[in-house]
Structure 1
Amino acid sequence: MTAPAQTPDPGSAPAAAARRLVEARYGEGLAAVLGGSAAGGRFTARSDLDIAVLLPEGGRDRRETVRHEGRCAEVFLHTAADLRTLFAEGGANRRATMAFLHAGSVPLYDPHGLAAERCREARELIAAGPAPLTDAERDDSRYLLTDLAEDLADTAGPGQDPHEQLALADRTLREAAHLLSAVRGAWSGARKWLPRRLRAADPVLGAALLDGHLAVARHGGPGPLCAAAHTVLGLVGGPLREGLVHTRGPGGPGTAGG
């Protein structure tokens, strides 16, 4: 049985374990924080420790996965300059992964307030929200979601390949979540963060997308997910197929949704 979630503070058991790991392996760090589930009230017996270590300028930017005291830890090591670059990249891809880690973190070691400054920058970025989609990005996403929803609708009925259907449902959910989050001016997410951020962006329509995806997985019925996807499309002008000019290079639409 999975242990119930707990909300740690800087003196909690997860934070104490993370602090011992930093002291044992990352003595070159100027500061360190604990983020992720251990800092956000979702910590369980199987949770990793997500640790960010601030390096002096010239330090080697890297990510390490280690095991410490029987628990897996993901350790992100960046200089202040590297971290600002990652914050900017996260803003551009609309997920802000590293900013979220810092924004919701608890301090492990910060004698000069350097981590506190980075965390403040992260919270400001998160609070500001992602930039609106450009017209090209919006139309690129409209086109892709239209295409996916049509392909998914074609899998209704007997004789269809359930593996193809589920693969299409996964991609449809991701693209619809990307577009809906952008419309609502909210951050999007991947993996377990996709449903969390989607519900936060739009509790009603986000739930309809998630329930529609579940209907495909459980019953092989694509109708509810297709209907929810078309509701999302209705927020940005409806389905788009004919008329899109898809170019590559500066100024052209990219690949929406990732």
Structure 2
Amino acid sequence: MSSDADGPSHPINQARRLAAECFPDALSVILAGSTASGRATVTSDLDIAVLIEDGGETRRETLRFEERLVELFVHTRAGLDELFAADTASRRGVMQYMYAHGLVLSEREEAATHIKQHAEDALHEGPGALPPAAVESQRYVLTDALDDLADAADVVERLAVANVVLSTAADLLFDHHRAWTGGGKWLPRRLLQADPEHGGALLDGYRHLCENGEPEDFADAAAEILTLAGGPLREGYARTWRAAAESAAR
């Protein structure tokens, strides 16, 4: 950031003013995301989690404060429990990461302190294992996608298939380590956290494919992850409609 950390335009100070002006009675206000981790740029938004008294409304809201975009995550205690449960089911741990690694802007009754500890415990425990049927489905998808990647002559088709390979291989690697997943910019970050060796090789291969059009390193890295998950799955694979529907829903 080009702004002085002590200056009024610094995003942390903007977040403190927003907390004081908009949520003076909140049980806790937490600043998360790139600003809290020191990765903010001049265009970064503010990710703010707000715990309010029971009887309020759990919601997500986007607004602009002092010309900076703000993503608000407002919730009651019961609402936060539901969000934690949903983020555990999705295996992303979004709110858990926000609280565990966020910066406390304000709190009453040590509310933020207690929730941060709860979030840290949840992150340490991990999301649990995928059901065996889901792992088999992902192995089958990755096996098929790697075959398509080897056959793809069209550049656009190759990149489209590569996205399937990347996401599916990442899911299997996350599950292998019982690690939290991520989407968008968080996918490479979480991959490197979960497994610097295999995750790094997958990302390096993906970058090489995007830059040079050569899929070999990427395919090799994905194939190694497939081996960790049980290996390729083609002949003999079968699933019932219910299992297929549940896997798609996940």
Same fold at TM > 0.5: yes
1:246 is displaced (CA, Å) by 2.5
Aligned twin of 2:68: 71
Aligned twin of 2:128: 131
Aligned twin of 1:88: 85
Choose which of 16, 20, 30 in structure 2 pairs with 1:19.
Answer: 16
Aligned twin of 1:162: 155
Aligned twin of 1:107: 104
1:185 is displaced (CA, Å) by 2.2
CA offsets, 1:201-250, max 9 Å, x none? 11111111111111221111122111111111111221012222233447
Unaligned runs of 5+ in 2: none
1:4 is displaced (CA, Å) by 7.3
The TM-score with structure 1 as length reference comes to 0.88
Residue correspondence of structure 1 range 115-154 to structure 2 within 5 A: 115-154=112-151
Q: Does 1:179 align with 2:172?
A: yes
1:27 is displaced (CA, Å) by 4.4
Matched residues in 2 for 1:16 and 1:237: separation? 50
Code of the residue aligned with 2:38 in structure 1: it is G
1:73 is displaced (CA, Å) by 1.0
Aligned twin of 1:191: 184
Matched residues in 2 for 1:187 and 1:153: separation? 29
Aligned twin of 1:228: 221
Contact 1:248 1:254 in 2 (8 A): no
Code of the residue aligned with 1:62 in structure 2: it is R
Aligned twin of 1:37: 34
Unaligned runs of 5+ in 1: none
Contact 2:26 2:52 in 1 (8 A): yes
Code of the residue aligned with 1:120 in structure 2: it is Q
Off by >6 Å, runs of 4+ in structure 1:
none
After alignment, is 41-50 or 196-205 more displaced?
A: 41-50
Cα RMSD, aligned residues only: 2.5
Aligned with 1:245: secondary structure?
coil
Matched residues in 1 for 2:3 and 2:24: separation? 30
Aligned with 1:65: secondary structure?
strand
Matched residues in 1 for 2:3 and 2:190: separation? 19
The TM-score with structure 2 as length reference comes to 0.90
Aligned with 1:170: secondary structure?
helix
Work out the number of aligned pairs and report it: 249
